[in-house]
Amino acid sequence: MSSPTVKLNSGYDMPLVGFGLWKVNNDTCADQVYAAIKAGYRLFDGACDYGNEKEVGQGIARAIKDGLVKREELFIVSKLWNTFHDGDKVEPIARKQLDDLGLDYFDLYLIHFPVALKWVDPAERYPPGWTAPDGKVEFSKATIQETWQAMESLVDKKLSRSIGISNFSVQLIMDLLRHARIRPATLQIEHHPYLQQKELIKYVQSEGIVITAYSSFGPLSFIELDMSSAHNTPKLFDHDVIKSTSQKHGKTPAQILLRWATQRNIAVIPKSNDPTRLSQNLDVTGWSLEQSDIDAINGLDLGLRFNDPLNYGIYIPIFA
Ligand SMILES: NC(=O)c1ccc[n+]([C@@H]2O[C@H](COP(=O)([O-])OP(=O)(O)OC[C@H]3O[C@@H](n4cnc5c(N)ncnc54)[C@H](OP(=O)(O)O)[C@@H]3O)[C@@H](O)[C@H]2O)c1
C-alpha cells in the first residue's frame, strides 16, 4: 500500500499520508521506521524535539541498504526547534539534524512553533525543550521575519527542498506572506473533529499552502502523556458518529478520522507503534466518505485543543 501525493507550491509532490515520529521510543525507533517503509510509508514527520533523529536515520539507512527504497522516494520532514530561531543559528542546527539523520537534505523543514527562545548549545542540552533546567522560559528577540529568511537560505543552499510552518495563526501567516521570498509550502496544525480550525484551514488553503493535520485522533495521543483534559474528553473512537460511520463503511474509527482529513486534501501523519495499526493507517485514501458523513463529523467541533504549551504548565499562551 502506498499513499497518493499532493503538489506543493514549491513544485514537489508530498505523500498525503505519512508516519509521525513523536513519542516513538529510541530503542524501537529504527526498527519502526524500517517496518513503516516496508509497509509502504514514504513520508516521515520528525523533529529535533522528538529526540530520535539518529535512530530515524538508522532505520532509513537500513531500508536503503536493503533495497526497500531509494532516498529520492522518501519524503523526510523535520522541524526547527524554538531555541534555534536566531538567524545565525538556523543553518548550524539544520546541518546537525541532517547529520543525525545521515541525510544531505530535508524534503520539508518547518518552524515548529512561532516561539523564539534563547539559544541553547546542543553540546550542553539536546533536545533543549521549552525551559531551562530551573524551569524558566527564556525568550530570544528573533522575529519570525529573521527566522524565515534563514529558512529561505536553507532552500538556496539545497539543505531543504521545501520549507513550512507549524502552529501558526492567521495573523502571523498574513504577516509572513508579506515578506516571504519563498512561500511556506505547508502549515502543520492540530486538527481533529474536536478542533477543526475551519477558518484557518480555509484561509491557508486559499493561499495555496497545504495543511497537514497532527494528532488526528484527538485526545488519544495526550492520554499517553497523562494530560487531564485528554482523560476528561470522550474518546473519538467511542463517539456515536464515528462508530456508526465506521460500521457503515467497514473501516476502523481511526481510518474514518484519517479519511475525513485526506478527503479534504489535508495530509495526515498518524503515529503507531503497532504493525497492524501502522498498515491500517495507510489505507485512508482510495475510498470515500459520503458528504453526509463528512457533515456529521464537521458537527463535532468543540474548539478543544490539547497541544498547547499551557497544558504542559508552560506559560506561553500562543493560541490565546
Ligand atoms: N507540529 C507539532 O507541534 C506536532 C504536535 C504533535 C504531533 N505532531 C506530529 O503528528 C504526529 C501524529 O500525532 P500524535 O503522535 O500526537 O498522535 P496520533 O497519531 O493522533 O495518535 C497516536 C495515538 O493513537 C494510537 N493509534 C494510532 N493508530 C491507531 C489505530 N489505527 N487504532 C487505534 N489507535 C491508534 C497510538 O497508539 P499505538 O502507537 O499503540 O498504536 C497512539 O496512542 C506525531 O507523531 C508528530 O509527528 C506534530
CA distance 56 to 39: 16
Mind listing the pLDDT tens digit for each residue in 105-154?
A: 999 999 999 999 999 999 999 999 999 999 999 999 999 999 999 999 99
Give CA 133 to chain center in angstroms. Answer: 26
Binding-site annotation: residue ranges: 112
Alpha-carbon Rg for the chain in angstroms: 19
Is residue 240's pLDDT more than 90? Answer: yes
Mutate to test the pocket of ligand 1, among 1, 17, 22 (most ligand atoms within 8 A of CB): 22
Please tell me if the CB atom of residue 160 comes closer than 6 angstroms to any atom of ligand 1.
no
Residue 296 banded pLDDT, cuts 50, 70, 90: very high
Q: Does the C-beta of 216 come closer than 6 Å to ligand 1?
A: yes
- Contact between residue 197 and residue 189 where contact means Cβ atoms under 8 Å apart: yes
Is there a catalytic annotation at residue 50? yes
Q: To test ligand 1's pocket by mutation, which of 28, 221, 239 has the most ligand atoms within 8 angstroms of CB? A: 221
- Is residue 2 pLDDT above 90, yes or no? no
Burial of residue 303 (CB within 10 Å: 0-12, 13-18, 19+) is exposed
Q: Is 184 in the pocket of ligand 1 (CB under 6 A)?
A: no
Separation of 146 CA from ligand 1 center, angstroms?
32
For residues 82-96, average pLDDT: 98
Protein residue whose Cα sits closest to atom 20 of ligand 1: 215
Cell of 238: 467511542
- 41 pLDDT exceeds 90? yes
- If you measure from the C-alpha of residue 218 to the centroid of ligand 1, how many angstroms do you get, rounded to a whole number? 9
Ligand 1 centre distance from Cα of residue 270 (Å): 5
Quote the percentage of the chain above a pLDDT of 70. Answer: 100
Atom 33 in ligand 1: which residue has the minimum CA distance?
254
Residues in binding site for substrate: 112
For residue 221, the CA-to-ligand 1 centroid distance in Å is 5
Instruction: Indicate which residue's Cα is closest to atom 14 of ligand 1.
Output: 215
Q: How far is the CA of 269 from the centre of ligand 1 (A)?
A: 7
Q: What pLDDT band is residue 212 in, cutting at 50, 70 and 90?
A: very high
The angle that helices 291-298 and 240-249 make with each other, rounded to 10 degrees, is 160
Per-residue confidence (pLDDT) for residue 54, from 0 to 100: 98
Q: Work out which ligand 1 atom sits closest to the CA atom of 22.
A: 45
Q: If you average pLDDT over residues 230-242, what whole number do you get?
A: 95
Catalytic, out of 12, 34, 41, 50: 50
Distance CA 66, CA 34 (A): 10
CB of 281 shorter than 6 A to ligand 1: yes
Domain boundaries, the chain: 5-312
265 touches ligand 1 (CB under 6 Å): no
The string of pLDDT tens digits covering residues 219-228 is: 999 998 999 8
78 CB within 6 A, ligand 1: no
Nearest to 273 by CA among 35, 18, 6, 9: 35
Specify the CATH number of the domain 5-312.
3.20.20.100
- 10 Å CB burial of residue 113 (0-12, 13-18, 19+) is buried
